[in-house]
Structure 1
Amino acid sequence: MVAIIKSTHSIRSVFYYNENKVKIGVAECIAAGNYPTYVDKMTDIMKLNRFIKRAELNENVKCNTLHISLNFDPSENHSKEKLITIADSYMEKIGFGEQPYLVYQHNDTKHQHLHVVTVNIEKDGKRIDLHNIGMRKSEPARKEIEEYFGLVKAEGRKKQEEFGLEPISIGSIQYGKVVSKKAIFNVLNTVVNHYKYGSLAELNAALKQYNVMADRGGEDSKMFLARGLVYHILNAKGKPIGVPIKASSFYTKPTLKFLEEKFKINEIRNMSDKSRVKNVIDMALLREPILPLTELARRLQKEGISTVFRKSTEGLLYGITYVDHTTKNVFNGSSLGKQYSAKAIEERCGLKVAGEEKRNQIYDKPRSKKLLIDDLQYQKDSLTIPDLVKALDIIMRAEYSSDYLSNQLKNKRKKKMRRGLSN
């Protein structure tokens, strides 16, 4: 069994994500923990209000919602009763046995999996600590449950996150129809609520990975002046197509006002999340002093980081954004430091700056060598012996090439020396 825990500040978005799955027939709410009646006797409002009233007991807690997925091996096929017992046992073991929670069985993948929705505010208003809950509580609980129920063990297996998304399939969308809205909603529900971004541009960098874009319109448009927001589906060229859908028409209300609150919450990021992106970029550039931007993007993609290049109509690079799908963070290049901005990345890749780029992107090797040494300095605490060996080899090759003289120049030097001797 693989257990994945996501925390968020929006109980409504998590609740309606699961209820929407129920409405389209790919999920079922199979159990309710610590509710006054059976799950089949409750309306959506009754289910949601239980969470809202509990959250209102401590409004100082910003991150008050847990969205948990329990994933079973494809070879397993458990009865509904056993799945409920497993969910109840898991919630008890992680310290949420007395909390209200809903259990949903999703049927939209090849393996059985449950989604559990709950809040971390207790009935006396106290907050349940979520810090490192995965390692402290979830991992021991998972192992105990695997042993007790005889489940296929997750140890040593590749863990696949249930929150993973696929880009919207353009061919399957009927523009302006309900299908389009549901497709956008599924993307928004994951990206808006689970990724961390500090601006609309950073949010769009993540949304565009799934063929969706948030749009305020032109600065002189009525929509922009009224602080409106719509969402588009994008075609293969990244251009908006079909009928845009108003942000206010979604259950979760991902309006501009809502997003601006998210921007404030996301102002403070974990340093480890920034360091991960910086280290991946540094290691990709360490291997070779000269590297095309497309190859850099490919290497980052292998590490779970999408790279969004912003170019002018003339094709000149003026911005770069990194979308880390592992930590769910979006960073504008300059926010990581000058070494990760668009201009610096071009230089670190060995490309001439814009004024010289027209000459077929001639490479400046002496500068590449200096930047390589700078890279070593930045990541000196994390380098391994093999990394150092590779780096030294590159530096030595760069040193050799910079001291190289063509035969023609050597001959000229010899002639000057001879003239000096004859005099």
Structure 2
Amino acid sequence: MVAVIKTGSSIHRILNYNEQKVKTGAAECIMAANYPKDVEDLTLLNKLNRLLHQVALNENVTRNSVHISLNFDPSENHSHERLREIAATYMQRIGFGDQPYLVYQHHDAGHPHIHIITIKVRADGSRIDTQNIGRNQSERARKEIELTYGLVKAEDSKQRQTYELKPVNAQKVQYGRSETKRAVANVLDTVLTNYKYTSLPELNAVLQQYNVSADRGSENSRIYLHNGLTYRILDESGNKIGTPIKASDFYSKPTLKYLKAKFRQNEAARQPHKARMKNAIDLSFLKQPNYSLMSFIKALEKDGISTVLRQNAEGLVYGITYVDHRTKSVFNGSALGKRYSAKAIQERCEQGEQLGYKQDAKASKKVQLTQQQSAQKTSSNPATSNRQSATAQPFPNMDTAKTLDILLQPEQASDYVPHQLKKKGKKKRRKRTTGHLKM
């Protein structure tokens, strides 16, 4: 099981998000905990007012809503009763068991999952602290629930791959606005909250991995002048297709104002991961210095780092951005230092290629020199020269046809036995005779 927790400042928004899913048949409300009525008897207004009434007890809590999703392995098919048990156990163990909360089962993903809506204000008006709740209380609760109910563990490698974000399939979604919006929203929900980006180009370096782009329009456009933002789907060639969707149309409201706040937060959050990025780049050159630019990009991919090049209309590379999918950190090349900018990386690759050419030329020259020395040694030694000529012409007095007849006769062929199978015998010592010429 995988648990994802998000906090927000709009109860209306997260409730409407789930209720809209119910209207379209993509979800159903299966539980209402700590409500005065059963879930079947609750209207939308009943659900909302119960939450708003308790939140009003502490107006100082601005981020008062909590939105949780519990995701299960595709092989698991749980009944409503089992899902309600899991939800109640999870909420109790993270400290929200006495809070009013609603549970929705969603049917619009490749794996079974539920969404839970609740609030951070207790019945006495005190605030529930959610600092590090995902890393501490939620992780302990998740592991205990996996053991109690025999669920597939999130640590399993296949389970991690199940929830890996996949690129938007442009062919499937470009013909319907609702499908497009849902596909883009899935990408945004994962990328915007998990990756550490500090600018719109850095964010797009991540989004482009999933065929999505954040677009402000041209500098003279109405959207740009009013600090607006839209999201677009990209085809396989990186071209924008379909109708742009305003950021304000998504329930999470990923507007430019929201992103600018994230830019400031992420600047500090990504600093601990800068050293890993620089080391990965430097090590890739140490392992194989004679890189081409494409070889360099492929080498970083093996280390979980995507490299995004920015090119002009003529194909000239003027920028480079690195996306580390392991630490979820994004760095423009210049943010790492001059040595990691687009210009410096291209120069390092060019130097490596030149080094490779020099090494190849040096090796080739060495082979040619060895061959020349061997030829000179042979020509200066008549005996060696005679032996070589005899080897080249085994029957010097015969023509070619007779030579072939002798070589192809069966009697002339000897059985070949590999040296590993030959019996070791004592070598006979040959008597060495030397002749002297008397003058």
TM-score normalized by the length of structure 1: 0.71
Give the 3 Å change call, closer, same or farther, for CA 69–314 of structure 1 in structure 2: same
What is the CA–CA distance in structure 1 between the aligned matches of 2:139 and 2:163, rounded to whole Å?
Answer: 19
Where do residues 1-20 of structure 1 align in structure 2 (5 Å cutoff)? Answer: 2-9=1-8, 18-20=18-20
What do the CA deviations read for 1:236-287 (whole angstroms, capped 9, x no partner)? 2111223223333333333323322332333321434434444444444442
What is the CA–CA distance in structure 2 between the aligned matches of 1:297 and 1:23, rounded to whole Å?
Answer: 46
2:189 is paired with a residue whose SS is helix
Give the 3 Å change call, closer, same or farther, for CA 290–59 of structure 1 in structure 2: farther
Matched AA of 1:188: L
Where do residues 398-409 of structure 1 align in structure 2 (5 Å cutoff)? Answer: none
Contact residue 163 and residue 190 of structure 1 kept, 8 A: no
Unaligned runs of 5+ in 1: 353-360, 367-397, 412-423
Matched AA of 1:94: I
Paired residue for 2:116?
Answer: 116
Contact residue 11 and residue 51 of structure 1 kept, 8 A: no
Greater Cα shift, 228-237 or 2-11: 2-11
What do the CA deviations read for 1:314-371 (whole angstroms, capped 9, x no partner)? 32221112233444433222223334322233344x325xxxxxxxx943479xxxxx
1:89 paired with 2:89, answer: yes
Paired residue for 2:149?
Answer: 149
What is the CA–CA distance in structure 1 between the aligned matches of 2:16 and 2:296, rounded to whole Å?
Answer: 38
What is the CA–CA distance in structure 2 between the aligned matches of 1:241 and 1:218, rounded to whole Å?
Answer: 16
2:86 is paired with a residue whose SS is helix
Contact residue 58 and residue 121 of structure 1 kept, 8 A: no
What do the CA deviations read for 1:187-211 (whole angstroms, capped 9, x no partner)? 3333334433222212222222222
Contact residue 3 and residue 138 of structure 1 kept, 8 A: no
What is the CA–CA distance in structure 2 between the aligned matches of 1:339 and 1:54, rounded to whole Å?
Answer: 55
Matched AA of 2:350: L
Give the 3 Å change call, closer, same or farther, for CA 303–407 of structure 1 in structure 2: closer
2:242 is paired with a residue whose SS is strand
1:224 paired with 2:215, answer: no
Q: CA RMSD in A?
A: 4.0
Q: 2:354 aligns with which of 358, 363, 371?
A: 363
Give percent identity, aligned residues only.
Answer: 49
What is the CA–CA distance in structure 1 between the aligned matches of 2:269 and 2:190, rounded to whole Å?
Answer: 19
What is the CA–CA distance in structure 1 between the aligned matches of 2:156 and 2:249, rounded to whole Å?
Answer: 44
Paired residue for 1:346?
Answer: 346
Contact residue 176 and residue 243 of structure 1 kept, 8 A: no
What do the CA deviations read for 1:68-96 (whole angstroms, capped 9, x no partner)? 44333444332211111111112212223
**Cα displacement (A) at 1:310:** 0.5
Paired residue for 1:239?
Answer: 239
1:248 paired with 2:236, answer: no
What is the CA–CA distance in structure 2 between the aligned matches of 1:310 and 1:11, rounded to whole Å?
Answer: 37
2:257 is paired with a residue whose SS is helix
Paired residue for 2:376?
Answer: none
2:350 is paired with a residue whose SS is coil
What do the CA deviations read for 1:353-412 (whole angstroms, capped 9, x no partner)? xxxxxxxx943479xxxxxxxxxxxxxxxxxxxxxxxxxxxxxxx9x999989569x99x
What is the CA–CA distance in structure 2 between the aligned matches of 1:51 and 1:274, rounded to whole Å?
Answer: 42
1:271 paired with 2:262, answer: no
What is the CA–CA distance in structure 1 between the aligned matches of 2:277 and 2:48, rounded to whole Å?
Answer: 37
Paired residue for 1:126?
Answer: 127
1:180 is paired with a residue whose SS is helix
Contact residue 212 and residue 233 of structure 2 kept, 8 A: yes
What is the CA–CA distance in structure 2 between the aligned matches of 1:61 and 1:98, rounded to whole Å?
Answer: 21
Give the 3 Å change call, closer, same or farther, for CA 147–307 of structure 1 in structure 2: same
Contact residue 69 and residue 115 of structure 2 kept, 8 A: yes
**Cα displacement (A) at 1:132:** 6.7
What is the CA–CA distance in structure 2 between the aligned matches of 1:161 and 1:21, rounded to whole Å?
Answer: 26
What do the CA deviations read for 1:41-80 (whole angstroms, capped 9, x no partner)? 4455665666677777475776x66554433344433221
1:267 is paired with a residue whose SS is helix
TM-score normalized by the length of structure 2: 0.68
Paired residue for 2:301?
Answer: 301
Give the 3 Å change call, closer, same or farther, for CA 3–211 of structure 1 in structure 2: closer
What is the CA–CA distance in structure 2 between the aligned matches of 1:125 and 1:297, rounded to whole Å?
Answer: 52
Paired residue for 1:213?
Answer: 213
Matched AA of 2:131: L
1:259 paired with 2:250, answer: no
Contact residue 29 and residue 104 of structure 2 kept, 8 A: yes
Give the 3 Å change call, closer, same or farther, for CA 298–31 of structure 1 in structure 2: farther
Paired residue for 2:169?
Answer: 169
Contact residue 2 and residue 72 of structure 2 kept, 8 A: no
1:268 is paired with a residue whose SS is helix
Matched AA of 1:186: N
Paired residue for 1:29?
Answer: 29
Greater Cα shift, 82-91 or 151-160: 151-160
Matched AA of 1:128: D
Give the 3 Å change call, closer, same or farther, for CA 188–79 of structure 1 in structure 2: same
Paired residue for 2:378?
Answer: none
Give the 3 Å change call, closer, same or farther, for CA 121–274 of structure 1 in structure 2: farther
What is the CA–CA distance in structure 2 between the aligned matches of 1:197 and 1:44, rounded to whole Å?
Answer: 37
Greater Cα shift, 80-89 or 202-211: 202-211
Give the 3 Å change call, closer, same or farther, for CA 137–294 of structure 1 in structure 2: same
What is the CA–CA distance in structure 2 between the aligned matches of 1:273 and 1:117, rounded to whole Å?
Answer: 33
Matched AA of 2:195: Y
Contact residue 90 and residue 141 of structure 1 kept, 8 A: yes
1:202 paired with 2:197, answer: no
Matched AA of 2:129: I
> How many residue pairs end up in the alignment?
367
Paired residue for 2:410?
Answer: none
What is the CA–CA distance in structure 1 between the aligned matches of 2:362 and 2:68, rounded to whole Å?
Answer: 60
What is the CA–CA distance in structure 2 between the aligned matches of 1:216 and 1:131, rounded to whole Å?
Answer: 34
What is the CA–CA distance in structure 1 between the aligned matches of 2:91 and 2:302, rounded to whole Å?
Answer: 35
What is the CA–CA distance in structure 2 between the aligned matches of 1:182 and 1:116, rounded to whole Å?
Answer: 19
What is the CA–CA distance in structure 1 between the aligned matches of 2:28 and 2:121, rounded to whole Å?
Answer: 25
Paired residue for 1:185?
Answer: 185
Unaligned runs of 5+ in 2: 371-439
**Cα displacement (A) at 1:309:** 0.8
Paired residue for 1:378?
Answer: none
Q: Which structure would you say has the larger RCO, counting Cα contacts within 8 Å and 6 or more residues apart?
A: 1
2:32 is paired with a residue whose SS is strand
